[in-house]
Amino acid sequence: MTSTSAFLTCGRHRLDLSFPRVMGILNVTPDSFSDGGRHVALDDALRHAERMLAEGAAIIDVGGESTRPGAEPVSPAAELDRVAPVVEALVRELDALVSVDTSCPEVMREVAGLGAGMLNDVRSLDREGALAAAIGTGLPVCLMHRQGEPRDMQQAPRYDVPIEEAVVDYLAERVAACEAAGLRRERLLVDPGFGFGKTVEHNLRLLNRMERLAELELPLLVGMSRKSMIGKVLERPVEERLPGGLALSALAVERGARILRVHDVAPSVDAVNMTWAVLKEGC
């Protein structure tokens, strides 16, 4: 980690990022690409989060709007109806560090009041009102690179510069905009956005050259779990992508990732910890 502190203040939680951590995905949507509808019921969501925490997840990332390719946006009211009860229960019953995957200002404000500790925005706070809302919460925010919107982002994406340059330049611009508005740098993380407006070749090159993101000097969050890049390279359906995902997690840790956003927590924790044990020996 290249930021000035190894600790990230997340509401009442203090997250140690001196070593890589695993973030467990909890989608409470009916249409997410690999687990849509499985955890819509509150009790199902709570039990799944409890399992992920027991398996070693440091953070639970709750999402109420699918951002899979081709997904249509949902209303703020619908998104709130999905995520607010889950966030409240996770905080109250499990004392979990909860991240909320949202671009909606209304959702940001509401979940902060319910005890969420982090915001994870695939649109990097560029939706109207999002930056002001995020500042008002006092929470750390992950800014993600993307090209286009979920409904059209995978329709022949192209870049005029190498993908790693495009990602670094975009994130640097968003970080500067956040700082100019009063969102302090120590509250920011970045995500290269694998699969968001990128071909398989873009994704592979971006991971291969991910050390370039160290230029931003911010904690790096990476999410590649079960994504189509694995399916296309290995010719595997969603339910058979875990081995490929573990390989990608190990490579991401080697290239500087400090938070790995995954569906399969237990094997991912083992892969991350084993990779880190080897890397520490070189320090």
Interacting residues of 47 by C-beta distance below 8 A, sequence separation 6+? none
Angstrom CA distances, 39 to 53, 79, 180, stand at 16, 14, 38
Spell out the alpha helix ranges (H) of the chain. 42-54, 76-94, 105-113, 130-137, 163-181, 200-208, 228-234, 242-254, 265-281
Q: Which residue has the tokens 């989060």?
A: 49
Q: Of these residues, 68, 226, 227, 258, which one is catalytic?
A: 227
Between CA 134 and CA 104 the distance in angstroms is 10
Quick one: CA dihedral 191, 212, 242, 94, positive or negative? negative
- Catalytic annotation on 198? no
Ramachandran quadrant class, 226 (left: phi over 0; alpha: psi -120 to 50; beta: rest): left
Q: Which residue has the tokens 């946006």?
A: 73
Residue of 223, 265, 252, 224 lying closest to 22 (CA atoms): 265
| Residue pair 219/171 in contact by the 8 Å Cβ criterion | no
Between CA 188 and CA 176 the distance in angstroms is 11
- Catalytic annotation on 227? yes
Indicate which residues carry an active-site annotation: 227, 261
